[in-house]
Amino acid sequence: MNSQPRAVLSMHDVMPETLSLVEDFLALCSSYTIPPMTLLVVPGCNWRDDQLDRLRELAGLGHELAAHGWLHRVGTPRGLYHRLHSILLSRNAAEHLALDGKGILALMRRSHGWFAEHDLPAPSLYVPPAWALGAVARHSLTSLNFERIEVLRGVLELRTDYLHPLPLVGFEADSAFRAGSLRLWNSSQIGMARISRRTLRIGVHPQDLNLRLGGSLRELLQERWRFIGYGDAL
């Protein structure tokens, strides 16, 4: 039995304007001999033909393409919870929190359909921006074409309606407060993964290597993890 700790690696916010940073991260992972990872694509951006071609190439190299919202931004937050979430965690990214249940389902269907429209592999995974699924009834999610949805607590498998609790680390530290908070959070989550032998989710953003925890991210990637896909993690 392989006792090596397992991890899934995902790159959030894959957009036309972040594609060069994504490429830099993929090159770093290649130098560490990390296998293909999951790329969270934001469909509603202004994708050029050459950029879509590059997404097809990355999929052909084995990288899983997942759907990540539609625009990944929202205007005025809706309600107190959304305002607090925006200040403390998501800034203006949690677009689900500005919608009701019907609007969330419509956004998710639109996000899934975009891939087929652009000759890209149909995504089995959906990750709401900032992991904030919003006010949508859980039973209604089975009407979607996704197999699983990732939220802050873990990964929801739609076929069984079971939420697999999996530890999560992040590195989007653009302030001293966020850096300190994430160091504490990441330490506890890595410890939980090792003790429980659950798969560790490593969620990164295109600019993370250039932020305050870039060194910590590099160190974590060089540790002896067995990198797997989301389907294998469940």
Domain boundaries, the chain: 6-233
Say what the pLDDT of residue 92 is: 62
Matching residue, tokens 């305002």: 83
In terms of Cα–Cα distance, which of 96, 101, 70 is closest to 85?
A: 96
- DSSP character at residue 210: G
pLDDT band for position 98 (cuts 50, 70, 90): confident
pLDDT in tens, 174-202: 889 889 999 999 999 999 999 999 999 99
195: exposed, middle or buried (C-beta count within 10 Å: 0-12, 13-18, 19+)?
exposed
User: In the prediction, which pLDDT does 89 show?
Assistant: 54
pLDDT of residue 75: 56
Mean pLDDT of 109-136: 96
Percent of the chain with pLDDT over 90: 82
Q: Which amino acid is at 19?
A: L
6-233: CATH, from 3.40.50.410, 3.20.20.370, 3.40.5.90, 3.90.1150.10? 3.20.20.370
Tokens of 196: 């429980």
